[in-house]
Chain A
Amino acid sequence: MENGNSSGDNKSSRKPIRCKAAVSRKAGEPLVMEEIMVAPPQPYEVRIRIICTALCHSDVTFWKLQVPPACFPRILGHEAIGVVESVGENVKEVVEGDTVLPTFMPDCGECVDCKSQKSNLCSKFPFKVSPWMPRYENSSRFTDLNGQTLFHFLNVSSFSEYTVLDVANIVKIDSSIPPSRACLLSCGVSTGVGAAWETAKVEQGSTVVIFGLGSIGLAVAEGARLCGASRIIGVDINPAKFQVGQNFGITEFVNSMTCEKKSVSEVINEMTGGGADYCFECVGSSSLVQEAYACCRQGWGKTITLGVDKPGSQICLDSFDVLHHGKILMGSLFGGLKAKTHIPLLLKRYLSNELELDKFVTHEMKFEEINDAFQLLLEGKCIRCVLWMG
C-alpha cells in the first residue's frame, strides 16, 4: 500500500493511493471488499487514513434503498476517525499527522448560518445526500481498478482505508482519545446528545420519552440524563432494549408491540398524566412522529424528530391539534450541533468522565467483517460495531 512518506514533502505524496474499501455495488447486497484508487486531495480537501469506523443506521438505509438518492457503486460509512495523510492547497486547519473526525454535516464557518447561533445548517454547503465531493461539481475521488467512478456518501465515505474530505467536513481532535470512542462523536452520539442539549434544551426535572432505542435513542437518553431529566421513558418493540437502556438512564419502558388495545401515545399520556415535556423520535417513521406528537404535553410539549424516513415521506398533523394544544414540533440534523464548535466540547465532557461512551460500543471487529456488522445491526443485536482498519 503506497501512502507516501509522512516525513516527505507534501507535493510528492499527492499521488493516488491504492487501498482496500468495502464497496456497495447493489442495493441490499453484501459489500464487496476490493482494492480501489483514492485520488489526492484537491484544494480545500484532505486525504485521511481511517483508523476505525462504526456502522450507523443511515448507512443501512442508503444501502437498502433502490431509488435516488441511493446510488451504486458507492462507498458508504460516515462515522469514523482518521489521521491526515495529505492536504490539498489552501488547507490551514490541519497538517499531516493530525487526528480528525470526519463529520457529514458541513461547517464552513463563513456563511450566515454557520455564524448564527440558531442554526447548524451550513448554507455554503447545503445538506443533501450527494454522490459527490461537496465543493466540486460531479467530482469523485474514488475509482475502482477498472477505472469506474465510485460514489461518495454524506461527504465522508469511511468504509475505506483512505478517504478524501472537504475541510468543511473535518474536526481536528486530540489524538490521545481512544479512537473507538472518539469516532462515535462523528455522528450517532453527537446527534442524540445534541438533540437533548441543543435542539430540545431539556431542563432538569423534565419527563422525556424516546421512541427507538438504537444508538441515537440511547444517545438521547445519555444527553437527557446529563441534563437532569427525572423520567426517561424508552419505547421500542424489542424488550431486550430495556435492559440495555437502563445503563443509559432509561427509567421506564414501553413495548409498543404489547400495548393491546391502546396506542402508544395513549399509554404514555396515562403514564405521564397528560404527556411528556419532550418526545424524541429516533427511528425514522412518520407515523411514529405522529404518535410522539400525540403524547407530548399540551401547553409546552416539544416533539423532536431525528430519524430519517424514506425520501418524500410526509408527517400528517391534525390542524386543530396544532393550533389548540400549544405543542412544538421540530427536527434537527446532527442534534443541532455545529461540528467544529461542539464536538470538542463533547470530547471534553468525555475526558472529564461526565459523558459516557464506552457503553455504546458493543462490538469491535475487523474491517473485513463489515458485512457481519450489517447483520448484527439489522437483527438489532448491537449498539455500535466499531470496525478497525488493518
Chain B
Amino acid sequence: MDKASLSSTEGKPIRCKAAILRKAGEALVIEEIQVDPPQAYEVRIKILCTSLCHTDVTFWKLESGPLARFPRILGHEAVGVVESIGANVDGFKQGDVVLPVFQPQCEECKECKSPKSNWCTRYTNDFLSNTRRYGMTSRFKDSFGEVIHHFIFVSSFTEYTVVDIAHLVKISPEIPVDIAALLSCGVATGIGAAWKVADVEEGSTVAIFGLGAVGLAVAEGVRLRGATKIIGVDLNPAKFEIGKRYGMTDFVNPALCGEKTISEVIREMTEVGADYSFECIGLASLMEEAFNSTRPGSGKTVILGMEQKALPVSLGSYDLLRGRTICGTLFGGLKPKLDIPILVDRYLKKELNLDGLITHELSFEEINKAFDLLAEGNSIRCVVWMDK
C-alpha cells in the first residue's frame, strides 16, 4: 500500500466491502458500504487482517435486549494501516501500522493517569456507543444509505474503519501483522491478567478455566512469571497438548470429574487450593468454580470471560471471608498505548511465545467459516486476510 493511493481517498468517503451482521446468529453478509472520513481526533484505517474473538460470537448471537443492534459491523481484534487522519490527531500519520483496540486510553483522565487502573471513561461510559466522542453517530452507511452500527469502538470486519485515537496504538512494523492483531485483544488480555491484574509470582500454582486464545495467553503469561504448576481446565483434551507448549503442567477435563466439582478436583491436586485462578470463558458457574478452586488466605480469582447470558455470579460469603479476592478485568488491566508496544517488543526479542495460536487463515469472503470453526472448538485464532 503506497502513500499515493492512500492520500487519494483522504477527506472523502470510501466505498469498500464489509461483512455485516443483519440478523442474530446468521451468516454475515458481505456488502458494499460507505465509510466516512475521520472527524477530529479520529483516524480511518485500512484493515490488513482481523481475527475472530469469542466476544464477537457472543454479540453475534444476541437477538434482543439493550446490547443488540442491527445492522452492525463486528470484529475488534485486528491490525491495519492508517489511511487518513482527522483534525487534531497527533502521533499518527498515513502509512503507520496500527492496532485498533476496544479498550480506550485517553491519557488525560484520572484513571489513565493512575497506575492502578486502565478504566478510562472519558467522553463516554457506554461501551456500545458508535463513536467515542460524538455519540451514536456512525461512520458507516450501507448501500441504501442506512446507518450501520459500530462495535466496541473498532468494527474490524470491514476493509476500512474509523477509530478514535483513544482506541488506537501505533506499533513497530517489524512484527508479523497477523501476530500483531492478536495483541489487540485476546493475547494482551491474557498476558495482562497474569502480569498486571494477578501479578503472579515465581513458584505459584495457577488454574486456568478455558483454553482458548485468552486462556493460553494467560498460561504463557504465568509461565514467564515462573509459575510452577499450571492447571488447564477444558472440555477438549486436545487443548492440553497445545497448552503444554505454554507451560501447562496439569489438565482437568470437567466431563471426567465424576461426582466431584472441578474446584474439588483442583483443591485435591493442590492440597488446599491454587494461588490464582482465571476464568477465560464467560460462564457464571465456572466463575464460581474458579473462585472455589483458590487457596484460602491468599487466593485470587481473575474473571476475563464475558458472561454469555449475563447470569449472576454467586459466591459463598464464608469462602470470601477466608481471605479470598475476586476481580474482573477488561484488556488484562493493560493501558493499550503503554503496554502493547512492550508486548510487541518482547515478542520480537523472542521472550514471548505466541506460536500455534493462529490455527487457521481465511480470506475475507470466507469469514463465516471462522464462526463455524470456533463453534466446533477446532480453532484457537482464525485470521481473516482482507487482501487475499
Give A contacts to B, CB under 8 Å.
Answer: 113, 116, 118-121, 123, 126-127, 286, 289, 298-300, 305-306, 308-309, 311-333, 336
Contacts and interface: CB of A to CB of B under 8 A. Distances in A.
A329 B302 CA distance: 11
Interface in B243-272: 271-272
B327 interface: yes
B310 interface: yes
Contact of A333 (B118, B119, B287, B323): B323
7 contacts: A123-B297, A300-B116, A300-B119, A315-B320, A319-B287, A329-B327, A331-B324
A300 B115 CA distance: 10
Contacts, number: 146
A299 B119 contact: yes
A123 B272 contact: yes
Interface stretch (B23-31, B33-41, B311-319, B336-344): B311-319
A120 B297 contact: yes
B317 A315 contact: yes
A316 B313 contact: yes
A331 B322 contact: yes
Find the residue from A300, A313, A327 having the highest chain B CB count within 10 A. Answer: A300
B330 interface: yes
B347 interface: no
Interface string B109-120: 001001011110
Given A323-B307, A323-B328, A305 B321 contact: yes
A287 to B, nearest CB: 11
B317 A319 contact: no
Chain B interface residue bracket vs A = 35 or more
Contacts of B329: 323, 326
B314 A314 contact: yes
Find the residue from A308, A331, A336 having the highest chain B CB count within 10 A. Answer: A331
A298 B119 contact: yes
A231 B100 CA distance: 39
Contact of B323 (A119, A316, A325): A119
Contact of B312 (A300, A318, A330, A336): A318
A326 B327 contact: yes
Contacts of B296: 119, 121, 123, 126-127
Contacts of B271: 123
Find the residue from A113, A299, A320, A327 having the highest chain B CB count within 10 A. Answer: A299
B59 interface: no
A322 B111 CA distance: 18
B137 to A, nearest CB: 24
B315 A315 contact: yes
Given A318-B312, A320-B310, A113 B298 contact: yes
Contacts of A300: 111, 114, 116-117, 119
A286 B318 CA distance: 10
B303 interface: yes
A289 B325 contact: no
Contact of B320 (A120, A121, A311, A331): A331
A313 B119 contact: no
Contact of A120 (B311, B316, B323): B323
A329 B272 contact: no
A323 B287 CA distance: 11
B315 A314 contact: yes
A277 to B, nearest CB: 9
B236 to A, nearest CB: 23
A152 B118 CA distance: 49
Nearest to B111: A299
Interface of B: 111, 114, 116-119, 121, 127, 271-272, 284, 287, 295-298, 303-307, 310-330, 333
Contacts of A329: 315, 320, 325-327
A286 B317 contact: yes
Given A314-B317, A319-B313, A324 B330 contact: yes
Given A299-B116, A323-B330, A309 B297 contact: no
A322 B320 contact: no
A312 B314 CA distance: 11
Given A319-B303, A322-B287, A323-B329, 10 more contacts: A113-B298, A121-B322, A299-B114, A308-B318, A308-B321, A315-B314, A318-B312, A319-B312, A328-B327, A333-B322
A317 B312 contact: yes
Nearest to A330: B325
A121 B312 contact: no
Nearest to B300: A330
Contact of A319 (B116, B272, B284, B323): B284
A323 B303 contact: yes
Contacts of A308: 318, 321
A314 B316 contact: yes
B317 A309 contact: yes
A314 B297 CA distance: 19
A113 to B, nearest CB: 5
Contacts of A332: 321, 323
B303 A121 contact: no
Nearest to B326: A329
A329 B121 CA distance: 21
B298 A324 contact: no
A317 B313 contact: yes
Given A299-B116, A305-B320, A322-B303, A119 B297 contact: yes
Ordered nearest first, which 9 A-B pairs have the shortest CB separation? A121-B297, A119-B297, A319-B307, A299-B119, A331-B320, A299-B117, A119-B298, A118-B298, A323-B328
Contacts of B305: 323
Find the residue from A123, A126, A298, A326 having the highest chain B CB count within 10 A. Answer: A326
B370 to A, nearest CB: 24
Nearest to A332: B323
Find the residue from B272, B317, B324, B333 having the highest chain A CB count within 10 A. Answer: B317
A302 to B, nearest CB: 9
Nearest to A309: B317
Given A113-B298, A121-B296, A322-B303, A336 B315 contact: no
A120 B119 CA distance: 31
A333 B321 contact: yes
Given A126-B296, A299-B119, A318-B312, A327 B327 contact: yes
A330 B326 CA distance: 6
A326 B119 contact: yes
A201 B297 CA distance: 16
B325 A316 contact: no
Given A314-B315, A317-B313, A320-B310, A326 B320 contact: no
Contact of A324 (B295, B320, B328): B328
A331 B297 CA distance: 9
A331 B321 contact: yes
A313 B317 CA distance: 6
A331 B298 CA distance: 10
A305 B297 contact: no
A170 B308 CA distance: 49
Nearest to A334: B323
A312 B328 CA distance: 24
Nearest to A326: B119
Contact of B117 (A313, A317, A322, A326): A326
